[in-house]
Amino acid sequence: MSWPLVATFGVLAAIIVALLATLVAPDMVLLGGLALLLVAGIVSPAEALSGFSNEGVATIAALFVVAEGLRQTGGLSFLGNRVLGRPRSLVGAQLRVMVPVAGFSAFVNNTPVVAMLMPIVIDWARRCRLSVSQLLLPLSYASILGGLVTVVGTSSTLIVNGLLLELPGARGLSMFELAWIGVPATLLGLLFVPLASRWVLAGREDAKDPLEQVREYTTEIVVEASSPVVGKSIEAAGLRHLPGVYLMGVLRGEDALTAVPPTLRIEAGDRLLFVGAVESIIDLQKIPGLVPAAEQLFRLDEPRSHRCLVEAVVSSSFRFRGLTIRESGFRTAFNAVVIAVARNGERLDQRIGDIRLRAGDTLLLETHPSFLDAQRQSRDFYLVSRVEDSSPLRHERAWVARLLLLAMVLLVVLELTSLLKAACLAGAAMLLTRCLRVSQAKQAIDWGVLVGIAAGIGIGHALRASGADTLLTGWLLEVTGREPLASLGLLYVVVLALGNLITSKAAAVLTFPLAVAMATSLGVSVMPFAVIVIVAAASTYATPMGYATNLMVFGPGRYRSADFMWLGGPLSLLVGALAMVIVPRVWPL
């Protein structure tokens, strides 16, 4: 065996072991492996860096920005109120989650879709007295299945499509070409998961609510005339059983209702007194048309989208100690407004402006981020800390974000431009229309994912340059007797096994050269082999680490690894069997 082969197999084995050990981030493992191959002379600098100019990688980066624009505007938040509703059964609840999520994931990368919708589903499950564990794993699986319908649905699809475009004489996939396998696979999952989860996830208890023992804030929320809750009862508006927060009273003109009946209809201008944890207070502000009462009393100079929430503990030397918030002129003194107050577990039943400040009170402030630097060493506060992910949503631009997403899809479907150009245009338009800020766009891009994918593409060049792909292909074809259909099935198993162990994206990048080599050796079209890589990489349901969305729901759903194996394993095999029937017919060998 030649030196290039020995070096390549050695580095590849080290990469797989390191990925299995999970002691180092996957992107660093892949980048380190690429560096070793570059130093060993297996790949040239141009080949090593080729992944960073790959069209699929650039498209993923642009789609991160598009997805963040939807998140910052609450573009998908309407799901909680308008789509989920009140199910009559557990199966009905699971389908209410899975169907729209699968639809969204076809057009927005599934990882940010799950990140946006998971808190909504958790809150909805608690309001409907449903087990969160019965909904989060179906949520993850639906997002993966839906992502298989279009070329933009999953990162692994974009990767393989970008690699296809680099092959001489090969073509890329059209927007809905994968729907031939994606739609049947999604329908299969929508049928299988609700039925099988009744036994696999039966009897699972939810984790004890972590918000039960945390500091309770009292806040006053004003209902704007444009809010969708106006005219609805407290019950119908979903404000009666909010997780982690309690509706203590309603102030309407000069009247104060402390025992709020669920049938009370909300009117514009009502002031709602809530008591709850800071995370729940933040969630309240994400409901369109509900704003802190302080926003009506005191106007800050900066637009709300530039502000954040800060927790500050009042010190014994606070200059306005003993005064009410209204008397203190807090906004003028600190360029911040008090939107909630916590006092050692005591429930405060006053308007925010009438609360007298004491040492030890914890204030939830809406302010500019510069407040942190200005007051961190101040004598007025013992402690000042920023509340993460607390910037107010730009609900008034939600329709713009949805329109831009639709425009991006239409540009690709009508073949007016490439997917990369459409995604870049949509991302730029999100910034120009102020659906998000430049700083938020930078933070939204998962550079670790991009680096890992780009490094994996460079490693793929090493497999080809060293001849490792040809050698591995020869071994695989010996097993199948060089029969094309059997080779297709074996490739599915290899990608699926690797994907469940080292993540779907890494598996797609590392096995694509094998798919090309197998097709070339058999003298058949590369397209069905590329599609099998895509389908297998999108079928990694059997382990938590197989897909990012599986890891996201693993903790909140209190799952065990066996849950993924028993529910996701059969689903992977069913999708594989379906693929073996459909793929050779739609993309002939």
Kindly tell me if the per-residue pLDDT of 572 is higher than 90: yes
Residue 89 has what pLDDT?
87
Clarify whether residues 223 and 356 are in a common domain.
yes
* Residues in Cβ contact with 55 at an 8 Å cutoff, skipping those fewer than 6 apart: 162, 165, 418, 420
My answer on whether 305 and 363 are in the same domain is yes
- The arithmetic mean of pLDDT across residues 464-478, rounded, is 83
Q: What is the pLDDT of residue 569?
A: 93
213: pLDDT confidence band, cut at 50, 70 and 90?
very low
The pLDDT, as a whole number, for residue 588 is 92
471-487 mean pLDDT = 88
Tell me the range of 5-9, 18-22, 217-221, 285-289 where mean pLDDT is highest: 5-9
How far apart (Å, rounded) are the C-alpha atoms in residues 137 and 158? 24
Look at residue 402 and tell me if it is in a domain.
no
CB-CB contact of 430 with 436 (8 Å) = yes
Q: 175 and 245 share a domain?
A: no
Q: Is residue 392 part of a domain?
A: no
Residue 128, pLDDT score = 74
Q: Does one domain contain both 26 and 155?
A: yes
Checking if the pLDDT of 295 tops 60, the result is: no
Residue 565 predicted with pLDDT over 70? yes
pLDDT band, very low/low/confident/very high, at 539 (cuts 50, 70, 90) = very high
d(CA 97, CA 137): 11
Does one domain contain both 256 and 195? no
* In-domain check, residue 412: no
Domain end call among 366, 386, 406: 386
pLDDT digits (tens, 9 = 90+) for 28-41: 888 999 999 999 88
Tokens representing residue 436 in the block: 């998000």
Q: Given a cut of 90, is residue 345 above it in pLDDT? A: no
Helices (H), 378-537: 398-413, 419-432, 438-444, 447-466, 468-480, 484-502, 504-522, 527-537
Average pLDDT over residues 355-377: 85
Within 10 A of 131 (CB to CB), how many other CB atoms are there?
19
**Which has the minimum average pLDDT: 98-112, 189-203, 291-305, 436-450?**
291-305
Q: Assess if residue 320 is contained within a domain.
A: yes
Closest CA to 94 of 207, 224, 234, 197: 197
Minimum mean pLDDT among 287-296, 330-339, 352-361, 509-518: which range? 287-296
CA distance 89 to 198: 12
pLDDT tens digit string along 434-456? 888 898 888 888 888 788 888 88
pLDDT value of residue 82: 62
DSSP code string of 227-276: -TTTTSBTTTTT-SS-TTEEEEEEEETTEEESS--TTPBP-TT-EEEEEE
Joined tokens for residue 572: 């992977």
Question: CATH no. for residue 258?
Answer: 3.30.70.1450
pLDDT at 181: 96
For residue 415, is it within any domain? no
Whether residue 214 is predicted with pLDDT greater than 50 in this model: the reply is: no
Q: For residue 400, is it within any domain?
A: no
pLDDT of residue 84: 74
Given pLDDT bands bounded at 50, 70 and 90, which one contains residue 162?
confident
Q: What is the per-residue pLDDT for 392?
A: 65
Here the tokens at position 125 are 């499950």
What's the chain's average pLDDT? 83
Q: Which domain holds residue 106?
A: 3-204+444-586
156 and 223: one domain?
Answer: no
Write down the pLDDT at residue 212. 41
* 303 and 198 belong to one structural domain: no
Q: Kindly report the backbone phi and psi dihedral angles of residue 306, in degrees, each rounded to the nearest multiple of 5, phi listed first.
A: -95, 0
Residues 23 and 170 in one domain: yes
Contacts with 387 (C-beta within 8 Å, 6 or more apart), sequence order? 278, 282, 308, 309, 310, 311, 364
The neighbour count for residue 28, using CB atoms within 10 Å, is: 14
**Number of domains the chain is built from:** 2
Tell how many helices (H) and how many strands (E) occur in the chain: 25, 9
The pLDDT of residue 95 is 93
First to last CA, the chain: 32
What are the structure tokens assigned to 443, written together? 């933070």
pLDDT surpassing 80 at residue 350: no
For the ranges 84-98, 269-283, 350-364, 426-440, the one whose mean pLDDT is highest: 426-440
Chosen domain end from 386, 416, 431: 386
pLDDT of res. 79: 61
Confidence class for position 125, pLDDT limits 50, 70, 90: confident
Residue 294: pLDDT band (50, 70, 90) is low
pLDDT at 488 over 80: yes
pLDDT at 121: 83
Among positive and negative, which fits the CA dihedral 372, 373, 376, 379?
A: negative
Residue 150 lies in a domain: yes
Give the pLDDT band (50/70/90) at residue 168.
confident
Name the residue among 181, 92, 153, 84 with its Cα closest to residue 124.
84
pLDDT in tens, 17-71: 887 776 777 788 889 999 999 998 888 999 888 888 888 888 888 888 988 888 7
In a domain, 365, yes or no: yes
198 and 49 in a single domain? The answer is yes
Of the ranges 233-237, 242-246, 485-489, which is most confident?
485-489
More confident residue, 108 or 301: 108
pLDDT exceeds cutoff 90 at 561: no
pLDDT at residue 330, as a whole number:
85
3-state secondary structure of 569: helix
Question: Which two structure tokens, joined as six digits, stand for 548?
Answer: 């990012």
Interval 389-399: pLDDT, tens? 666 667 778 88
Residues 260 and 336 in one domain: yes
Residues 243 and 145 in one domain: no
Q: Pick 16 or 485 by higher pLDDT.
A: 485
Would you place residue 194 in the very low, low, confident or very high pLDDT band (cuts 50, 70, 90)?
very high
Burial 314-344 (b: 16+ CB within 10 A, else e): bbeebebbeebbbebebbeebbbbbbbbbbe
Q: Are residues 484 and 553 in the same domain?
A: yes
Q: Over range 351-378, report the average pLDDT.
A: 84
